[in-house]
Chain A
Amino acid sequence: MQNILEIEGLTKTYAGGFTALAGVDLAIRKGEIFALLGPNGAGKTTLIGAVCGLVRPGSGTIRAFGEDMGRHWRTLRRRIGLVPQELSTDMFETVLATVNYSRGLFGLAPDAAKVEDVLRALSLWDKRHESLRALSGGMKRRVLIAKALAHDPELLFLDEPTAGVDVELRRDMWRQIAALRDRGTTIILTTHYIEEAEEMADRVGIIQAGTIRVVEETRTIMAHLGRTEAHFTLGYPLAEVPEALAAFPVQLAEDGRELVYRGGDGAGQGKAQVAALAKAMVLAGVEFTAINMRESSLEEIFVTLLDSPAGQGEAA
């Protein structure tokens, strides 16, 4: 698949000596939603800033749409949009004025129909004459998205797009981001909400201490590192795992009153194995009164990866 953004050997050390990027290599595919995950200070915002022109990188190259950002920044920036993490804009302006300003700033002629489309898509049309300071936090965040979309970017950066918004609004925002992808916009988002990445992203990248630790398809990362855990409450305590169940990854817990299964691949294999295990238990005459089952989340995978020095992967 064609890459829309290619970053090689990108470094950034701030004046205070803090190294935010320690040689980042990353490629983003056209048309995908890519989630960049990482703890605070990992380098997510610095990486976005370096691509968008807010941060001056120490070394490395950034190529967007096949061209060098350093040399062709004027033409390339027209095709890139940014929604910052902070609600940073002139709060005394009206919604319509600030979106029109953004369009003009990117060198485009006024287009009332286009701006109306963007505002309607984000449910802001009815608020167009209101001052930003009169809007709720969620609405202000939508305005920032509208500003970023005013010049029809092909590549959109969303830095913590749903930070501080309620659950309902967050889900609404997810729908809008998915709609953008459906229209062909490539989206790179940073988030602290693992659920957000799991729900929306085609691929996930994990950055830690300025280095990309792993880049994988969301489904693949779940399949490789995901786990299913099932707790069978037994009808009577067992001293050891019965021979008929030895082929399953199980062990006894709670003084033999529980049989615990840990296995699977995070993509359905675990559920099938638990079903097979339950059948084998019935056939072997092992009684159980309850089953508690859960899948490991991307968050657990994320924590496991960051805790494990062996968890380093190769950036795609």
Chain B
Amino acid sequence: MIHFNARSAWSIYLHELDRARRTALQSIVAPLLSTMLYFVVFGAAVGSRMNSGLDGVDYGAFIVPGLLMLTLLSESTSNGAFGIYMPRFTGAIYELLSAPVGFGETLAGFVGAAATKSLVLAAIIMGTARFFVDYQVVHPFFVLGFILLVSSSFSLFGFILGIWAKSFEQVGMVPALFVMPLTFLGGTFYSVDVLPEPWRSIALVNPMVYLVNGLRWCFYGKADFPVIVSLAMALGFLTICVVIIARIFATGWRLRS
């Protein structure tokens, strides 16, 4: 029999959103500002002289999904990680561990809140991007679905990171040293098709390439790869994260002594 206490999950969810509200400057304004700077430099200033490599899409519009993904992946990972790392760090996790909540409620609360923050951030970035570049969305519901899928996956990944980490440095290290550089090199600013060999083949090993292209397809209906490949990658990553977290809860690794 599957137990799920919706009220407990809702409490965790609201508690996490309240924490985000208190840190809005860090979790909303800072990433929004840096993304806007990218739009100014690469979209408005340099973009008019660049070829996107995607038929019928201006360079300024071409980079919107990539920049959106760049911010979403970093923020989802950080939000998911800090959500669980902070109570571990302060000791407040005792309350969660002694409460009648399990794997389902904890994930729904923490990851749901992290994904919600990412969605809000995505909406703000997309709205603000309109001031700098002209873009259109061919599949708006796919955009919403894909953002939700990727945000949830990387929030789960962040949750694992927050349980694994033994210091603030480790929490901040993975998004800064792995997630952001890989997304940067994952076709945020260019189509992998314009890369010469062997760089194109090397780029295909980077999983972020498929995620960026998936969102680009949702925006413009065209990308370097079929959208099904991107969807499979995202779903696969989500499944791996869920299995790992289920295992963590079953064993109590880094949670219960």
Contact = CB atoms under 8 A, between A and B. Distances in A.
Contacts of A147: 95
B5 to A, nearest CB: 4
A56 interface: yes
Contacts of A236: none
Contacts of A54: 94, 97-98, 256-257
Interface of A: 14, 49, 52-56, 73-75, 77-78, 80, 82, 84, 86, 88-93, 97, 101-109, 147
Given A89-B95, A107-B7, 15 more contacts: A52-B98, A53-B256, A54-B94, A54-B256, A55-B257, A56-B252, A56-B256, A74-B102, A77-B98, A80-B98, A82-B98, A90-B87, A97-B18, A105-B11, A105-B99
B15 interface: yes
A90 B256 contact: no
Contacts of A88: 90-92, 94
Contacts of B240: none
Contact of A53 (B3, B10, B98): B98
Given A55-B256, A92-B22, A107-B8, A102 B97 contact: no
B101 interface: yes
**Interface secondary structure of A, over-half rule:** loop
A82 B99 CA distance: 10
Contacts of A84: 91, 94
Interface string B237-257: 000000000000000100011
Contacts, number: 80
Interface of B: 3, 5, 7-8, 10-12, 14-15, 18-19, 22, 86-87, 90-92, 94-102, 252, 256-257
A97 B11 CA distance: 11
Dominant SS among interface residues on chain B: helix
A104 B10 contact: yes
Given A53-B256, A54-B256, A104-B7, A86 B19 contact: no
Given A53-B98, A77-B98, A80-B98, A108 B90 contact: no
B172 to A, nearest CB: 20
B257 A14 contact: yes
The 3 closest A-B pairs by CB, nearest first: A104-B11, A88-B91, A77-B100
Nearest to A91: B90
Nearest to A89: B92
